[in-house]
Structure 1
Amino acid sequence: MGELKQYWFVIRELTGREIKRKYARSYLGILWSVLSPLLYMLVMTLVFSTMFKRNIQNFPLYYLTGYLFFNMYGQVSQSVMTVLVDNRNLLLRVKVPKNVFVLSRCYTAFINFLYSMMAYLPLLLLSGVKPKLTMILFPIDMILCLMFGLGVGYVLSILYVFFADIKYLYTVFLTMLLYLSAIFYPIEQVPNAMQMVIYNNPVYDYMLFARDCMVYGTWPTADLWMRIIIWGVASYLLGYLIFLRRENEVMQHI
């Protein structure tokens, strides 16, 4: 926390640089963080809503809630994976903790998520979802999902320095994970063996928690609480420990 306070200005500047670079040639800029989930939701609703109309209540929100959390996890883990190599020159010239660059990527993904919420919250109201007490749990789910993605990103950032092909393998893995997260279909529609795989998917747990507290207004079960806490905290601690132990070796290789 002391390191975070000391270098908060650097994290903000790096975050601003990442956002400007991402939308450098776009007229709409960061508004794409609002429009993108809506466009994806529209396409998926047109394609799948009739297929699962009887099985999924309020399909557009069901899909969009899952998409936002999967996208946040993907953005955090993928962007953190390449952060050390992308900032090689700065790391060699400036005496700033390497973790600052990692946290800036995580903060960027968080900002994009908040912009996406500008599309999500009005859609909740337009869909007839009334404010409920369960919604106060949403920030907890969001923070734990960020921690999980950050923990995975720490490990990937070390692997990427020594094995660049991990970037392409992880892209394939994310595609597989997308279809194993029940974003646009009810889990009851797949065979029992596949259901077990999905139930053991941490990203699905964060989606399920968000759908319960935001869309359906139900309190998540104790088992679900335990899973999202364990996944988030354990992933972050393990990833950060590996990052700390390997950071000097990384600098030698860079």
Structure 2
Amino acid sequence: MEDIKQYWFVIRELTGREIKRKYARSYLGILWSVLSPLLYMLVMTLVFSTMFKRKIQNFPLYYLSGYLFYNMFCQVSQSVMTVLVDNRNLLLRVKVPKNVFVLSRCYTALVNFGFSLLAFFPLLFLSGVKPSITMLLFPIDIILCMLFGLGVGYMLSIVYVFFADVKYLYTVFLTMLMYLSAIFYPIEQVPTAMQVVIYNNPVYDFMLFARDCMVYNTFPSADIWARIIIWGIASYLLGYLIFLRRENEVMQHI
């Protein structure tokens, strides 16, 4: 228990450092976590709401719910990818489990996601969406999406130690992923072959779950339940096992 308390203290300190560094020299600071999704939503609504107004019910919420989960996945996987290299000095000097640094990045992404919800929930109820029992499923979606991003981040963190260029390739991949996640368009609007690709996109499953339980007040189908559980748990276990197996080799390299 003493070790857990110490590790939790380290995670909180590292999280505070990450948040301060992210918003350093910014007058609005953490408020940007609330304003950023709203500004993106405003732009996308102005651009696409007319184009898809007969296809998407409540477009602003449709977009925002998708964007929040896409952004959380990006933050978790990208920040965990560089965690070992960014903290090489501390890893060599301090006897702390490497997983503590990984969890601090994950916790930071969760805190930022929480601030983003300060924009999502008021908009949800201002748009006429009534509280529903299905909303109680929302935390499950958040946890499984974070596990999925964490698993991907674990694998990328090992690759990044040996191949730094993966950071730039992954940025390109995330841009492609955004357009393949149906964040701002209805999936029915794209060709059948593209629909198959989108349906097999894990990030889209987490978005779809959130839209069902939060925006449309419906229970997600059994298929969506199975997919997000499998993607979340399988990705985490695979990533963590790879991380543990290559741990010593990574320390010798950095």
Deviation at 1:2, TM superposition (A): 9.2
Unpaired runs of at least 5, structure 1: none
Residues 85-234 of structure 1 aligned to structure 2 (within 5 Å): 85-234=85-234
CA distance in 1, matches of 2:3, 2:153: 19
TM-score by length of 1: 0.98
CA deviation vs aligned residue, 1:106-130 (integer Å, no higher than 9, x gap): 0000000000000000000110000
Per-residue CA deviation, residues 36-88 of structure 1 (Å, 9 max, x unaligned), is 00000000000000000000000000000000000000000000000000001
- Partner SS, residue 29 of structure 1: coil
SS in 1 for 2:246: helix
Distance in 1 (CA, whole Å) between partners of 2:127 and 2:79 is 33
What is the rounded CA distance, in whole Å, between the counterparts of 1:168 and 1:70 in structure 2?
18
Provide the alpha-carbon RMSD of the alignment.
1.1
Contact 1:4 1:100 in 2 (8 A): no
Paired residue type of 2:155:
V
What is the number of residues matched between the two proteins?
254
Cα displacement (A) at 1:157? 0.3
Instruction: Tell whether the 8 Å contact from 1:202 to 1:231 is kept in structure 2 after alignment.
Output: yes
Which region of structure 1 is more displaced relative to structure 2, 1-10 or 168-177? Answer: 1-10
Partners of 1:239 and 1:132 in 2: CA distance: 35
Residues 164-187 of structure 1 deviation map (CA, whole Å, 9 limit, x = unaligned): 000000000000000000000000
Could you tell me how far 1:3 is from its partner in structure 2? 6.5
**1:35 paired to 2:40:** no
Distance 2:222 2:186 in 1: 22
Dislocated runs of 4+, deviation >2 Å: 1-6
Q: What residue number does 1:63 align with?
A: 63
Q: Measure, in 2, the Cα distance between the counterparts of 1:217 and 1:194.
A: 27
1:16 CA drift (Å): 0.2
Q: Which amino acid aligns with 2:233?
A: V
Asked if the contact 1:80/1:106 (under 8 Å) is kept, the reply is yes
> Is the aligned partner of 1:45 residue 2:45?
yes
Cα distance in 1 for residues equivalent to 2:2 and 2:69: 29
Quick check: 1:241 aligned with 2:254? no
1:165/1:63 CA distance change after superposition, 3 Å: same
Q: Does 1:24 align with 2:1?
A: no
CA deviation profile, 1:123-182 (whole Å, cap 9, x unmatched): 001100000110000000000000000000000000000000000000000000000000
What is the DSSP-based 3-state SS (H/G/I as helix, E as strand, rest coil) of the residue aligned with 1:184? Answer: coil
Q: Give the drift of 1:5.
A: 4.8
Which residue in the other structure is 1:72 paired with? 72
Report the identity percentage.
86
Q: CA offset at residue 6 of structure 1?
A: 4.5
Cα 1:250–1:3 change in 2 (3 A) is farther
Query: Once the 2 structures are TM-superposed, how far is the Cα of residue 194 of structure 1 from its aligned partner?
Result: 0.2
Q: Distance in 1 between matches of 2:143 and 2:227?
A: 14
**What is the match of residue 251 of structure 2?**
251
